[in-house]
Amino acid sequence: MRKPGDTALRRFRIALETARALGASYADIRVVTRRDENIVVKNGKVDALESSEESGFGVRALVNGRWGFASSSKLDDEEIEKTAELAVRIARASARAKTEDVTLSPVDAICDSYKTSYDIDPFTVSIDEKIELLMDAERLMRGKKGIRVSTATMGFRREEKIFLSSDGAEIAQEIVESGAGISAVAADANDIQERSYPGGFGGDFAAKGYEFVKSLDLAGHAEEIAQQAIDLLDAPQCPSTTTDLILGSNQLALQIHESCGHPSELDRVFGTEASYAGTSFLTPEKQGTFRYGSPEVTIVADATVPGGLGTFGYDDEGVPAQRTELVKKGIFINYLTSRETAGRVNQRSNGCMRADGWNRMPIIRMTNINLMPGDWTLDEIIRDTKDGIFMDTNKSWSIDDKRLNFQFGTEIAWEIKNGEMGRMLKNATYTGITPEFWRSCDAIANEDFWHLWGLPSCGKGEPLQIAHVGHGASPARFRRVRVGVGRW
Amino acid sequence: MLATAEKVLNLSKSDQTEVHCVRGRSFLTRFANSEIHQNTAERDMTITVRCVIRKRVGVASTNRTDEVSLEEVISRAIAFAERQPENHSFVSLPGPGQYREAATFFRETDEFTPEDRADAVNVIIKKARKAGLVASGSFSTASYEVATVNSLGVRASGKTSLASLVTVIMGDGGSGYADRLSRNVADIDVEAAGDEAVNRCLLSRGAKAIEPGEYDVILDTYAVADMIGMLSYMGFGALAFQEGRSFMTGNLGKQITGENITIWDDGLSEPGLATRFDYEGVPKSRVDLITGGVARGVVYDSYTAGIEGRESTGHAVSPSFAVGPYATNLFMESGTSSLGEMIDSMGRGIFVTRFHYTNPVHPVKTIFTGMTRDGTFLIENGKIARPLKNLRFTQGILEALSRVELISRERRLHDMMGGGAYVPRIKVKGFNFTGVTEY
């Protein structure tokens, strides 16, 4: 990792000095350089081969108890000073509409650096090798009769960021991410069905190097998922009923994301997302007493787990990465917090403030929100289920603006009869109310079945920010869930 | 901007080259709990280069404008193009076209200040406070210079501006919504938006649950814009059409909705968000999508047009979006009814202000799901009877558009996945509500 030299640091400090001189009680600057590479192979052709690089800085200033944020891609002394001045001016404008002053919970002023650990730098691997890996997997799917669209994708990111605050923090970080996936779309005159591996929406991602992509063995799964897509065309429709539901870990990852991760964001709880995706049912009086789930359910936010897409050294307020229990044995006990929100619940920040690049203001984001494993094997859960449905791989998602009423659709499902997996079912959907659903969880598979998924597409905030987050889960069973929603 | 784009173009030695430059300033003032809590500014310039070498296409972008970075971005795009097999579906980048003038840029928007936005937000906050309610929302203004040039002679450039106001008013268990969208911030009626959201919130207090099931509905323009935008996402683009993932595939010339439904895309028609050319610099064309209920066409970029040996309709979006051509300037034909007449005509049904978190369940069947939000009401005997707790729906869009009984005279422009949809209210017979929530 390239650490900033004295000249660069002196330049970045201009922002802090300018903001403070103009009346800011606190200021910080983040300088971010981001490189992305994305490859898409579709139907035997390279459909997209893209490389993007961007850099810039954002200055956050607290003036008269309100925030102002200004950013620019032009990194010179004059622009840094002008941008800091603009951040202060914007903060003063914010103060025209305030009810109370923002206060920040304390944080140690840390000077440190952090770097993702990886074996193979993905940006050093040749394009030829990457295309060949994707082509090999895509060819195997395309070889199946009935496949209309076969796609293999790969994506990489390197983000270097420097954080300086008027509290004295100086932190340099380098995060490297890699991911890949395949999907097959089968169609006939009556229907169209899709299967993906390892998960939908681009596959799986991790804060690792190219070794992660190789470990996915895309080609080794290509024919199986292509055949499943074809088989789904003739599979019976998921019945409309109430039954026991076993979710695979990929679908469970999104269930955790929408119904636990987002509602436990303390800024959302305090209403700051009200006009966009909404607020949260996890209101402050519930902290420490509310039965969110069954005693089997323990959910943690862990920014320290190696390789997670929500793993880092420090958040964008300079707070060290942490592990926090959100739900312990079914009881909701904690939130994802920032310096601003933590003080309002008499805590210090647990380090969840992140910004999507140099041009966005940090907001509370999920880190790796993980459902801790139970002690069942998947076979034991299935054998213990008399009548139910197993669903996996997310296809569709929706949840209300307090994160209570949800509905998900999955790519594939199988019925379970008398403890055995039966027929494949298509167009599977399920719906429920968040705490009722998690309270019905009575079996979670053990750590052998646990997987930490990387989700690079979490949208929140205005202007929109896309966060990269992780979700660990093993398959779990939920009793008496409504499935097969809608008219088909 | 044009000069910068041409300078980068001249650095390329590939068979065909396209350079897209955008330089802009954008501001967003966000409020919640009746105070401004986030307030941001951004200044950026991005250069995206597409290089073609014997049917092989590489794309690279940068936001650095020094000489070294400009040469390097070309090198990256060329290197990517060189290291891949030929894509025989690729025909060519587009050639030059004639651009019509349109009102895409307004000085008023460009010069709107952080103080102006704060004062506008205060208008809404004061209205909410006066009614004992709490205000949230956002007010954004932005202005951009855009230029797209290519080695076949495309020279498209111009300025655009955009202003958007969104507000949600909450209190006593109720909530209301309003939004306004225009290229000219002077056209954003802050007072009217505030009044609309406050009044809707006051009406929605004391909501009670209703059993899910099939109900007749009146969808306000917000809900219609969401639904028509979802239809565009699911299949008005040629990529989904050609891949068989669109409800339009195999249905051109066939009746797919009721005869009273006509939807088209037009980047140059008022009062939509005027847009002169697309990402590739191709002039915007009007495309009839559904006329009198009959599927008429889809929108094309140069790649999908090349596959069918036809001209692009001017609907390319950034290659980063990876969605193919996209209809983002939608219009839906108006009807003859007033809102009052629509309510009067309803025996028992539900009025929906807007949808929340909509998502496709089956794109070819056009089934989508989502929640109602910020004002859902039971209508009985031609009158609004009482507010309802929010409902989940799971419904086929084409099925709903086959059962539209009344369409309003009035239309309004709303944001639609990055573009604009100018749509009326509609009354639909039989809309499938599949769940209810706790508020």
- Establish if A108 belongs to a structural domain: yes
Mean pLDDT score across all residues of chain B: 96
Structure tokens at B4: 């910068």
Inter-chain CB proximity A275 and B166 less than 8 Å = yes
**B11, B135: one domain:** yes
Q: What is the reported pLDDT for A383?
A: 98
Residue identified by tokens 């039965």 is A291
CA distances from A124 to A119, A127, A158 (A): 11, 9, 12
Q: How confident is the model at residue A331 (pLDDT cuts 50, 70, 90)?
A: very high
CA distance A58 to chain B (A): 8
Short-list A289, A291, A166, A150, CA closest to A221: A150
CA distance A123 to chain B (A): 12
**B191, B315: one domain:** no
Q: What is the reported pLDDT for A387?
A: 97
Inter-chain CB proximity B38 and A360 less than 8 Å = no
Under 8 Å CB-to-CB from B242, ≥6 apart: which residues? B249, B304, B307, B308
**B322, B400: one domain:** yes
Burial profile A116-141: b = 16 or more Cβ within 10 angstroms, e = fewer: bebeeebeebebeebbebbbebbebb
| Spatial distance between the Cα atoms of B429 and A455, rounded to a whole number of angstroms | 39
**pLDDT at position A4 over 80:** no
Inter-chain CB proximity B84 and A399 less than 8 Å = no
- Residue A74 is part of a domain; what is its CATH number? 3.30.2290.10
Number of neighbours of residue B184 by Cβ within 10 angstroms: 15
Query: Do strands B134-150 and A45-63 pair parallel, antiparallel, or not at all (unpaired)?
Result: unpaired
When CB atoms are compared, the residue of A46, A74, A97 closest to B121 is A97
| Spatial distance between the Cα atoms of B407 and B427, rounded to a whole number of angstroms | 6
**B268, B182: one domain:** no
Q: What is the reported pLDDT for A2?
A: 60
- Establish if A227 belongs to a structural domain: yes
> Which residues share a beta bridge with B28?
B40, B140
| Spatial distance between the Cα atoms of B174 and B205, rounded to a whole number of angstroms | 4
Mutation choice for A interface testing from B25, B29, B30, B198 by most A CBs within 10 A:
B30
CA distance B103 to chain A (A): 25
**pLDDT at position A482 over 70:** yes
Q: Which residue is closest to A93 within chain B, CA to CA? A: B115
**B137, B214: one domain:** no
**A310, A459: one domain:** yes
Short-list B137, B89, B399, CA closest to B257: B399
| Spatial distance between the Cα atoms of A37 and A123, rounded to a whole number of angstroms | 8
**A412, A429: one domain:** yes
- Among residues B199, B232, B248, the one where a domain terminates is B199
Cis status of the peptide bond prior to A362, with omega within 30 of 0: no
Number of neighbours of residue A319 by Cβ within 10 angstroms: 25
Inter-chain CB proximity A398 and B432 less than 8 Å = no
Q: Which residue is closest to B432 within chain A, CA to CA? A: A486
Cβ(A455)–Cβ(A471) under 8 Å?
yes
Inter-chain CB proximity B62 and A54 less than 8 Å = yes
Residue-wise pLDDT tens digits, A188-205: 988 999 999 999 989 999
Residue-wise pLDDT tens digits, B56-99: 999 999 999 999 999 999 999 999 999 888 999 999 999 999 99
Structural domain of residue B188, as residue ranges? 2-199
- Establish if A488 belongs to a structural domain: no
| Spatial distance between the Cα atoms of A109 and A112, rounded to a whole number of angstroms | 10
Inter-chain CB proximity B168 and A274 less than 8 Å = yes
**B226, B251: one domain:** yes
Mutation choice for B interface testing from A90, A130, A154, A185 by most B CBs within 10 A:
A90
> Which residues share a beta bridge with B421?
B330, B414
Residue-wise pLDDT tens digits, A360-385: 999 999 999 999 999 999 999 999 99
User: What is the mean predicted confidence (pLDDT) over B42-68?
Assistant: 96
**A192, A259: one domain:** no
**B189, B216: one domain:** no
Per residue, the 3-state secondary structure of chain A, as one string, reads CCCCCHHHHHHHHHHHHHHHHCCCCEEEEEEEEEEEEEEEEECCEEEEEEEEEEEEEEEEEEECCEEEEEEECCCCHHHHHHHHHHHHHHHHHHCCCCCCCCCCCCCCCCEEEEECCCCCCHHHCCHHHHHHHHHHHHHHHHCCCCEEEEEEEEEEEEEEEEEEECCCCEEEEEEEEEEEEEEEEEECCCCEEEEEECCCCCCEEECCCHHHHHHCCHHHHHHHHHHHHHHHHHCCECCCEEEEEEECHHHHHHHHHHHHHHHHEHHHHCCCCCCCCCCCCCCHHHCCCCECCCCCCCEEEECCCCCCCCCCCECCCCCECCEEEEEECCEECCCECCHHHHHHHCCCCCCCEECCCCCCCCEECCCEEEECCCCECHHHHHHCCCEEEEEEEEEEEEECCCCCEEEEEEEEEEEEECCEEEEEEECEEEEEEHHHHHHCEEEEECHHHCEEEEEEEEEECCCCEEEEEEEEECCEEEEEEEECCCCC
Cβ(A97)–Cβ(B118) under 8 Å?
yes
Question: What does residue B52 show for φ and ψ, rounded to 5 degrees?
Answer: -120, 125
**A248, A212: one domain:** no
**A60, A133: one domain:** yes
Looking at residue B285, the DSSP 8-state letter turns out to be -
Inter-chain CB proximity A463 and B26 less than 8 Å = yes
Q: What is the reported pLDDT for A1?
A: 58
Q: How confident is the model at residue A488 (pLDDT cuts 50, 70, 90)?
A: confident
When CB atoms are compared, the residue of B62, B137, B437 closest to A53 is B62
Long-range contacts of residues A272-275, Cβ cutoff 8 Å, at least 24 apart: A272/A363, A272/B30, A272/B32, A272/B33, A272/B37, A272/B38, A273/A460, A273/A461, A273/B32, A274/B32, A274/B136, A274/B168, A274/B170, A275/A462, A275/B30, A275/B31, A275/B32, A275/B136, A275/B137, A275/B138, A275/B166, A275/B167, A275/B168
| Spatial distance between the Cα atoms of B120 and B134, rounded to a whole number of angstroms | 16
Structure tokens at A106: 């304390």
Under 8 Å CB-to-CB from B139, ≥6 apart: which residues? B28, B29, B31, B117, B120, B121, B163, B164, B165, B166
Q: Which residues of A touch B361 (CB under 8 A)?
A: 395-396, 409, 427, 429, 486
Q: What is the reported pLDDT for B418?
A: 74
Question: What does residue B344 show for φ and ψ, rounded to 5 degrees?
Answer: -55, -35
Instruction: Give the whole-number percent of chain B exceeding pLDDT 90.
Output: 96
Inter-chain CB proximity B36 and A52 less than 8 Å = no
**A361, A383: one domain:** yes
Among the residues of B186-270, which ranges form H helices?
A: 190-204, 221-235, 238-243
**A390, A327: one domain:** yes
User: What is the mean predicted confidence (pLDDT) over A138-158?
Assistant: 97
**B264, B352: one domain:** yes
Question: What does residue A171 show for φ and ψ, rounded to 5 degrees?
Answer: -130, 130
Residue-wise pLDDT tens digits, A17-29: 999 999 999 999 9
Structure tokens at B61: 């972008």
- Among residues A179, A206, A234, the one where a domain terminates is A234
- Establish if A1 belongs to a structural domain: no
- Establish if A193 belongs to a structural domain: yes
CA distance B401 to chain A (A): 16
**A190, A259: one domain:** no
CA distance A471 to chain B (A): 21
Q: How confident is the model at residue A130 (pLDDT cuts 50, 70, 90)?
A: very high
| Spatial distance between the Cα atoms of A88 and A21, rounded to a whole number of angstroms | 10
**B328, B375: one domain:** yes
First and final C-alpha spacing in chain A: 54
Q: Which residue is closest to B39 within chain A, CA to CA? A: A68
| Spatial distance between the Cα atoms of A402 and A262, rounded to a whole number of angstroms | 9
Q: How many CB pairs under 8 A join A and B?
A: 272
**B159, B232: one domain:** no
User: What is the mean predicted confidence (pLDDT) over A74-91?
Assistant: 97
User: What is the mean predicted confidence (pLDDT) over B379-400?
Assistant: 98
Inter-chain CB proximity A67 and B437 less than 8 Å = no
User: What is the mean predicted confidence (pLDDT) over A1-30?
Assistant: 91
Structure tokens at A252: 């469970």
- Among residues A200, A217, A234, the one where a domain terminates is A234
- Strand, coil or helix: B389: coil
Q: Which residue is closest to A99 within chain B, CA to CA? A: B35
Q: Which residue is closest to A84 within chain B, CA to CA? A: B41
**pLDDT at position B294 over 80:** yes
Residue identified by tokens 């299935």 is A382
Cβ(B47)–Cβ(B73) under 8 Å?
yes
Please count the structural domains in chain A: 2
Q: How confident is the model at residue B189 (pLDDT cuts 50, 70, 90)?
A: very high
Inter-chain CB proximity B118 and A148 less than 8 Å = no
Q: Which residues of A touch B80 (CB under 8 A)?
A: 49-51, 127
**A210, A316: one domain:** no
Q: Which residue is closest to A395 within chain B, CA to CA? A: B361
**A247, A110: one domain:** no
Inter-chain CB proximity A486 and B432 less than 8 Å = yes
Inter-chain CB proximity B61 and A46 less than 8 Å = no
CA distance B148 to chain A (A): 18
Q: Which residues of B touch A47 (CB under 8 A)?
A: 87
CA distance B305 to chain A (A): 15
**A64, A167: one domain:** yes
CA distance A447 to chain B (A): 32
CA distance A192 to chain B (A): 7
**pLDDT at position B11 over 70:** yes
User: What is the mean predicted confidence (pLDDT) over B33-38?
Assistant: 98
**B324, B433: one domain:** yes
| Spatial distance between the Cα atoms of A90 and A92, rounded to a whole number of angstroms | 5
First and final C-alpha spacing in chain B: 51
Q: Which residue is closest to B390 within chain A, CA to CA? A: A400
- Among residues A234, A249, A279, the one where a domain terminates is A234
Structural domain of residue A173, as residue ranges? 6-234
Residue identified by tokens 């770097």 is A115
Inter-chain CB proximity B62 and A46 less than 8 Å = no
Q: Which residues of B touch A427 (CB under 8 A)?
A: 361-362
Q: What is the reported pLDDT for A198?
A: 98
Instruction: Quote ipTM for the complex.
Output: 0.96
- Among residues B199, B228, B248, the one where a domain terminates is B199
Q: Which residue is closest to A44 within chain B, CA to CA? A: B87
Inter-chain CB proximity B435 and A405 less than 8 Å = yes
CA distance A131 to chain B (A): 7
Inter-chain CB proximity B357 and A96 less than 8 Å = no
- Residue B165 is part of a domain; what is its CATH number? 3.30.2290.10
Element spanning B8, H or E: helix B2-9
| Spatial distance between the Cα atoms of B100 and B104, rounded to a whole number of angstroms | 11
**A328, A453: one domain:** yes
Number of neighbours of residue A285 by Cβ within 10 angstroms: 8
Please count the structural domains in chain B: 2
Question: What does residue A484 show for φ and ψ, rounded to 5 degrees?
Answer: 70, 60
Assign residue A318 a region (left: φ > 0; alpha: ψ between -120 and 50; beta: otherwise). left
